[in-house]
A and B are shown apart, each in its own frame.
Chain A
Amino acid sequence: MTTSQHGFLGGLPPAHRDRLTAFAQEVEISAGARIFEEGGAADRFWIIRSGGAALDVHVPGRPPPVVETLGEGDLLGWSWLFEPYRWHLGAQARGRLRADEFDASRVRAACGQDPAFGLAVTGAVAAVIARRLKATRTRLLDLYGPPGGGAGGGDG
């Protein structure tokens, strides 16, 4: 597996990674449990150890559509780092989820006290946001929709 190298923690230098994980508390979230709700206080975040989570959006009158799923090594939640510290999406556990849970206020305080640590954490979170933004833009292209020509099976 390449997870350990390329998960969220892989984006942090070892010293800062160790410092961040010192704040972690391992938790287990039961299958189907709501982890957070859109608009709620973003007072925690998680790094997934095993299992998965689905990010969804509240749409009145129908079940919340899933916009992305996260898995092992992924950062669950970034709204805790930016004001107003409110979740932009909802999240639900897919199957039993084990994760490292972090108290957002403690991590933010540590970031404020140690600018090098704060820069490293902010950079790693920004990289996650950038990757998800790029993925979202790619999906906006609807790449798998009806295409042009070539050898893949079309003559449009």
Chain B
Amino acid sequence: MTTPHAVAHSAALPVPHRVVTRAAEAPGVATIVLEPVRSALPPFVPGQFAMVYAFGVGDIPLSVSGIDGDRLTHTVRSVGAVSAALQGLEAGATVGVRGPFGTGWGLPAAAGRDLLVVAGGIGLAPLRPLVRAALAAPGEYGRLNVLIGSRTPQDLLYAPETRGWAPRARVLVTVDRPDGRWRGDVGVVTALLDRAAFDPGTAAAFVCGPEPMIRATAAELVHRGADPGRIMVSLERTMHCATGHCGHCQLGPLLLCRDGPVVSWTTAEPLLLVREL
């Protein structure tokens, strides 16, 4: 099939995958690594997502938080029936996976530029493969900054790994609600921009988190002279079919499962300001 709306086999039919490992990340959040039982899906790029099916419960969109050959990593927070089922899976369990879906971050287009990665909460999940890709290509990009905002210290994702990024990247972390042992920053993630090392006029930014946090971050970057076309944001709307047919994820002229979830701020800003959308 060659029509624009053709649905590839991997997009329509869940492909069985086995849970290789499950690691608890934070209260109600776990990371699962999946490998294909038989045939593998087409390769994913950072920023794309899969529809992951808990058999007998349902499927939900999950960004890839890690890509290792045929193995896919997803970080899932339990907020409903399907995510609770997926979050509770143990090694050896089988799920169905469709994908890859959506647009990626487009990291290669940022070659030679300072990189600014800004993550809020579980928004770090889709950004982790981007950071890993940037770290795996030393010399390809300018200075790498990773700014992370979290609700509490206990909610920080991938803490050992993010600490390990520090020698090669400027990693700044802030929390909204510190506990008595927290000695790091307290406040909103945009406050960390002052300490990031980047040239605002030429840097490429990648932002994922709750929409008000995305808006605040992008607005601050533009205020500092960043090009809105080089601020990439990952947007969330209810995704259902993931193939651009059902319209559940429509945002103005966009179907985010197909035209997103990653779009530039040039595209996103006028749509996010329309209350009816």
Contact = CB atoms under 8 A, between A and B. Distances in A.
Contacts of A139: 176, 187-188
Given A2-B224, A151-B234, A7 B122 contact: no
Interface in A13-66: 52, 54, 63, 65-66
B239 A151 contact: yes
The secondary structure that dominates the B interface is mixed
Interface size grouping (class) on chain A:
35 or more
Contact of A66 (B74, B178, B197): B178
A138 B212 contact: yes
B180 A144 contact: no
Nearest to A68: B187
Given A149-B60, A152-B126, A2 B198 contact: yes
Nearest to A149: B238
A148 to B, nearest CB: 7
Interface in B190-209: 190-191, 193-198, 200, 208-209
The secondary structure that dominates the A interface is loop
B190 A135 contact: yes
Contacts of B150: 144
A151 B62 contact: yes
Contacts of B209: 143-144
Contacts of A94: 183
B79 A151 contact: no
Contacts of B195: 1, 3, 71-72
B213 interface: yes
B188 A152 contact: no
A143 B188 CA distance: 10
A112 interface: no
B3 to A, nearest CB: 25
Interface in A117-156: 134-135, 138-139, 141-156
Contacts of B216: 134, 138
Contacts of A3: 194-195
Contacts of B120: 143-144
B193 A144 contact: no
B180 to A, nearest CB: 6
B44 interface: no
Interface string B136-175: 0000000000000111000100000000000000000010
Contact of B82 (A142, A143, A151, A155): A155
Interface of B: 28-29, 49, 58, 60-63, 74-77, 79-83, 102, 120-123, 125-126, 149-151, 155, 174, 176, 178, 180, 182-188, 190-191, 193-198, 200, 208-210, 212-213, 216, 224, 234-239, 261
14 contacts: A67-B186, A135-B187, A135-B188, A138-B212, A142-B176, A144-B209, A147-B79, A148-B236, A152-B122, A152-B126, A153-B63, A155-B58, A155-B80, A156-B80
Given A2-B194, A144-B150, A153-B76, 5 more contacts: A69-B186, A151-B62, A152-B63, A152-B234, A154-B76
